[in-house]
Amino acid sequence: MNFPKRLLAILALLPGLALANEGGITLDKAPDRSNNLAALQHGAKLFVNYCLNCHNASSMRYNRLKDLGLSEEQIKANLLFTGDKVGEMMTTTMNPKDAKAWFGVVPPDLSVIQRAKASGAGSGSDYLYTYLRSFYKDDTRPTGWNNRLVENVAMPHVLWELQGVQQITTEEVADPHEHGKMTHQFAGYKQVSAGKLDKLEYDTAVADLVGYMEWMAEPAAQTRKKLGVAVVLFMTLFALLAWRLNASFWKEVK
């Protein structure tokens, strides 16, 4: 008898849990790359070069990248590590024990990370797009980096050469919870040193990477959506024909 009440209590907490995961930070909307093959190809290249060093994508095979318009020769020449084969899964050579010793935790598999990070605060793409642009220099952390979206994150900023080094800036404001007290509030980022890309170029590169991770989480998504539209149109036509046929059958009876 208590089960429904407990279930309702848990469901009531879910929105709060989703927002708490982002630390109250509003997620930036990730640009849509679902129909941009060039951007998805670029994102796949970034993923292989910067993510597969530590993370697995054990549900994805390299040869599935043919769906992005890449030939087997292009995959071999640009996206395969030495010794890997086109038909193999996208896995890292890093030993899990070494990873845990270095980072304190084994890096998660990224095959469906885009779907896993979806919440009431935004889509998984929004989360990843915000996360990869929120790293800042923090010498108190073991890796030298922190992330405003995930405070005290174990992951280092693997894209720092592209983005450069940035620090957070704060401003002193009145504490809304305690009269007469001042507190420090996030005011933005300050660029300490430039990277290989300027801000717009870096944001574009991250959008491409996130777009690829969204595609990787469900490679057949676009096919499914197109099939869904076709099914809805067919059912609409079928319903119209059934309606007129029914009217014809019952015309004499009336």
Give the tokens for residue 216: 């990787």
Q: Are residues 146 and 235 in the same domain?
A: no
Q: Are residues 236 and 159 in the same domain?
A: no
CATH number at residue 76: 1.10.760.10
Q: Band the pLDDT of 6: cuts 50, 70, 90.
A: very low
Domain extent at residue 161: 18-219
Q: Is the dihedral of CA 124, 128, 130, 134 positive or negative?
A: positive
Q: Domain total for the chain?
A: 2
Residue percentage of the chain with pLDDT more than 70: 89
Q: What is the DSSP secondary-structure string of 204-252?
A: HHHHHHHHHHHHHH-TTHHHHHHHHHHHHHHHHHHHHHHHHHHHHHTTT
pTM, two decimals, is 0.80
Tell me if 1 is assigned to some domain: no
Q: Are residues 126 and 91 in the same domain?
A: yes
Tell me if 118 is assigned to some domain: yes
The answer to whether residues 158 and 132 touch, using CB atoms and an 8 Å cutoff, is no
The long-range contacts involving 129-134, CB below 8 angstroms and separated by at least 24 positions, are 129/27, 129/28, 129/29, 129/30, 129/31, 129/206, 129/207, 129/210, 130/22, 130/25, 130/27, 130/28, 132/159, 132/206, 132/209, 132/210, 133/28, 133/163, 133/202, 133/203, 133/206, 134/25
The model's pLDDT over 84-143, given as tens digits with 9 standing for 90+, comes to: 889 999 999 888 888 888 888 899 999 999 999 999 999 999 999 999 999 999 999 999
Q: Are residues 171 and 245 in the same domain?
A: no
Q: Are residues 173 and 208 in the same domain?
A: yes
pLDDT of 254 reads: 59
Q: Are residues 174 and 185 in the same domain?
A: yes
Longest dimension (CA), the chain: 86
179 annotated as ligand-binding:
no
Tell me if 8 is assigned to some domain: no
Q: Are residues 101 and 138 in the same domain?
A: yes
The model's pLDDT over 48-97, given as tens digits with 9 standing for 90+, comes to: 999 999 999 999 999 999 999 999 999 998 898 767 889 999 999 888 88
Q: Are residues 241 and 212 in the same domain?
A: no
Q: Are residues 140 and 113 in the same domain?
A: yes
Q: Are residues 76 and 92 in the same domain?
A: yes
51 annotated as ligand-binding:
yes
Tell me if 89 is assigned to some domain: yes
Tell me if 11 is assigned to some domain: no
